[in-house]
Amino acid sequence: MFLKQVNSYLTKHFLCLIILSCFRQIHGTTDRVSPRVIMTKYGSLKGIIRELANKDLQPVEIFYGIPYASAPVGSLRFMPPVTPPHWRNIRTASSLGPVCPQKFPDIRNHTEALKRMPPERLAYLHRLIPFLNSQSEDCLYLNIYAPSILLHKNVKVPVIVFIQGESYDWNSGNAYDGSVISSLASIIVITFNFRLGILGFLPALEEVTRGNNGLMDQVAALHWIQENIAEFGGDIHNVTIIGHGHGAAFVNLLMISPMAKGLFHRGVMHSGSALSPWAIARQAPVFTRQLASKLKCPTKSNVNMVYCLRDRPIEQILNVQLAVPDYLTAFGPTIDGIVIPNEPEVLMGDHNNLYNQYDLLLGVSRMEFYFQFSANEERYGIGEDRRNRLFQTLVGNIYTYHLQEIFYVLENEYTDWERAVEHPINILENTADAISDGLVVGPLFKAAKYRAKGSKKTFVFVFGHQTENSEYPKRYGCIHGEDLPYVFGVPLVGKLAHFQHNYSRSETSLAQAVVLYWTSFAKKGDPNIPEDEEEDVFVDRIGDRFERIEWPTFDNIRQKYLSLGIKPKIRDHYRAHQLSFWNNLIPKLHRSGSGTPPHYSFFEGHDNSHRYDEVAALPSDLVASTPKDNSYSVEVSSASTLFNVNLFFVTSSGPSTTPPVETTPGVDPNYSTATTHLSEQSTYSTALSVTIAVGCSLLILNVLIFTGMFYQKDKSRLEVKLQTHNYKMKMTQETDNLASFQHKQVSRVPPLSPSSQELPPPPPAPLITPIKIPPKPIYATLEEKPVPEAQPLLYHSCRRMAPPSRSSTEEMRV
């Protein structure tokens, strides 16, 4: 047993020596022991002095492998970090500490690897592997790079802390060397390791774990810096954190976390933010139980499950294969209510939150999504079928509602309609742009707009230059990660760590400018080069094209940013149309709703795995229950399915005052309580139902008004006609009665006597002709005048007249 421990110890240190020798060979530098001893809170340290390949750069004092927390082993696995132990003797900090346990991408088979990634990406991973070979759970170490002027001057210089990216599952701070930054700008640079995967991000489980231990490791490192960096010559009141990719998401989360308040003062975010769909691991509890089940651990009790996982060897845990949906995260930061108190977008939208108390520099590369294309696709392009699979996988994995509609508008937005037939290379470029905008660029610019509402300064950049010696296609510009060599000043020394070498003279000037921009921001919160550094030899070499640039602050009106390249330019509104599509249109489409068929939120043929690319969160069962009480549900569950999701579609039976809910991409609606889930889904159909009801009511009301108006008009006309007819009938009857009366008067004359019969007959009496008096109708019509527009709709065209008097009636009679 003792011999095994000795062999393990010797093997570990032998690997460290090999890595250090390779490290020195890659740098082309010479090292010697530093003369000064640093007294930290936990013990004494002595570093090494390194001479850089560029003779114009000052030497750098380096301290490797300083413990900032106790080893999280045994009972401390899955626990928050604990303060480091003390040591007695002077510790020589000349060797890199081991990296945290991780599973690196499988690239052992070169041919198979090229089917998953471009050859340039494969070459990069091969250069990175040597820095990640020595692994141990005892991995919480940091590295310090300090300028040599601190050996002779008692001054305080700013501090930069770099947080590496690539993944939440692998990588290490050991692979990033801050020597050039420290030497060129007289600044302290710190890199460090923190726990990854399930060791660092086991989610918060009731009664057993708090979660976010990897983030707490970062907080512990910042605490250590506040306690000890002054002894190295650092200014504890001037600390800047820089992150790239997933590291940028960490920077964003630390800016909104109350646990990190007061530990740093500025932030720099490269190619990532907390608003990206992959930034928060929303299904971590599901993957935890999947992993525990594959390790034969109990899953019903959280306590028993965590105890079982704590006893399993780390090799067994790392060997478990989990099918994680593309663009999502199995184990990463979670919203636990303590380290991350709420949804990042909610916290960033609050102007009084911590996020608005830091100066911020952030930006992207020209192409942020590229590594999922194979070598063959990079050379020949992709077809529409491959593009549609990528789009459907993206939409299906990060959205929940109205997937078909989102897919259609996404396809329409990123299709070149000016060409009858798109070339496969153009399809690949447009597809890469679409996924880049959705996963990285859109969320980062949304974070910039939230930050620009505050009082602190915000600066935005877009890195567009592609290294001349790069093997990536030139048409795409800077690919994700190609900006890092310039941030670390690699062209100034030719070789540094795992980055490629061979840079042109103009690229050396660009690297000098980028380092000075970033360090100027770290020193005073403004990247513009201060006047007191204009006499610096490197400032003189960067050229007039950089000196003439005045980098403006970013605001939501002008939206100006610096386009970084050999010829830098100030531009505005970067990809404004595409980013509006992701930040404005898609959230409006992605709303929860009810009263729709169960399949409404799925793709056509959603259960066909050939319609997706790689790993997708596919529902394998879709069983609709019988509607009861105006509600029905769809249950999506299967042992082979990644998620166990219940989607409810409820028809609301009453009005709701809750506005429609805009859901966050990647947020599972079942993450909250069932009541909240049902409420969110019912509000949209309630509002729609109320709108339709009001519209129908107004339509019916208008129909009734117009019907009543025409009915009253026709009724008035009919009354006039009826009165006229009655009058004519009455006049005819009275005329007949008068004629009959005259005939009777004539018939009553007595007959003549016989004597009188001989007389001549008298002349005939003239008939009495009745006097014709014009009738006075009971209802007199008004003069036809145009009805003014100001009169109401129900205005009558006739008015009622007083009935004629009795004397007037008698005048009509004879």
Of 10-24, 125-139, 534-548, 629-643, which gets the smallest average pLDDT?
629-643
188, two tokens = 């302290």
**pLDDT value for 231:** 95
Q: What is the mean pLDDT of residues 96-105?
A: 95
Evaluate if residue 765 carries a pLDDT over 70.
Answer: no
Query: Which residue, 210, 344, 326, is CA-closest to 278?
Result: 326
pLDDT band of 92, cuts 50, 70, 90: very high
Of 497-501, 759-763, 810-814, which gets the smallest average pLDDT?
810-814
**pLDDT value for 602:** 56
Q: What percent of the chain has pLDDT over 90?
A: 61
pLDDT band of 543, cuts 50, 70, 90: low
Q: What is the mean pLDDT of residues 192-198?
A: 96
Phi, psi of 660 (to 5 degrees): -60, 145
Spell out the CATH class of 2-281+332-382+441-574: alpha beta
Evaluate if residue 279 carries a pLDDT over 90.
Answer: yes
Evaluate if residue 654 carries a pLDDT over 60.
Answer: no
Contacts 24+ apart (CB under 8 A), 226-231: 226/263, 227/40, 227/41, 228/40, 228/41, 228/42, 229/144, 229/159, 229/188, 229/190, 230/156, 231/38, 231/39, 231/40
Average pLDDT for the chain: 80
Length of the chain: 814
Evaluate if residue 775 carries a pLDDT over 60.
Answer: no
The whole-angstrom separation of Cα 300 and Cα 302 is: 6
The alpha carbons of the chain give a radius of gyration, in whole angstroms, of: 43
- Please, what's the largest Cα pairwise distance for the chain? 185
Dihedral angle sign, alpha carbons of residues 672, 673, 676, 681: positive
pLDDT band of 709, cuts 50, 70, 90: confident
Alpha carbons within 13 A on the beta-carbon side of 124: 18
The whole-angstrom separation of Cα 173 and Cα 243 is: 11
- Cα dist. 808→723, 777, 805 in Å? 17, 11, 5
Higher pLDDT, 697 or 540: 697
Measure CA 320 to chain center. Answer: 31
Alpha carbons within 13 A on the beta-carbon side of 130: 18
Measured at the alpha carbon of residue 6, what is the angle toward residues 3 and 8, in degrees to the nearest 5?
Answer: 110
The whole-angstrom separation of Cα 256 and Cα 267 is: 11
**pLDDT value for 397:** 94
Instruction: Report helix, strand or coil for 48.
Output: strand
Taking the model in full, what pTM does it have?
A: 0.74
**pLDDT value for 12:** 47
Evaluate if residue 120 carries a pLDDT over 60.
Answer: yes
Higher pLDDT, 283 or 667: 283
Evaluate if residue 752 carries a pLDDT over 50.
Answer: no
Q: What is the mean pLDDT of residues 82-98?
A: 94
Of 357-366, 399-408, 435-444, 746-755, which gets the smallest average pLDDT?
746-755
pLDDT band of 730, cuts 50, 70, 90: confident
Higher pLDDT, 600 or 109: 109
Residue-wise pLDDT for 3-45, tens only, equals 344 344 444 444 444 444 444 444 445 789 999 999 999 999 9
Residue-wise pLDDT for 202-257, tens only, equals 999 988 888 899 999 999 999 999 999 999 999 999 999 999 999 999 999 999 99
Residue-wise pLDDT for 471-499, tens only, equals 899 899 999 999 999 999 999 998 899 99
The whole-angstrom separation of Cα 332 and Cα 277 is: 12
**pLDDT value for 546:** 67
**pLDDT value for 740:** 65
Evaluate if residue 406 carries a pLDDT over 70.
Answer: yes
Residue indicated by tokens 């108006």? 709
Instruction: Report helix, strand or coil for 806.
Output: helix
Of 280-289, 536-545, 751-760, which gets the smallest average pLDDT?
751-760
**pLDDT value for 629:** 38
Supply the angle between the helices 246-256 and 213-232 in degrees, to the nearest 10: 80
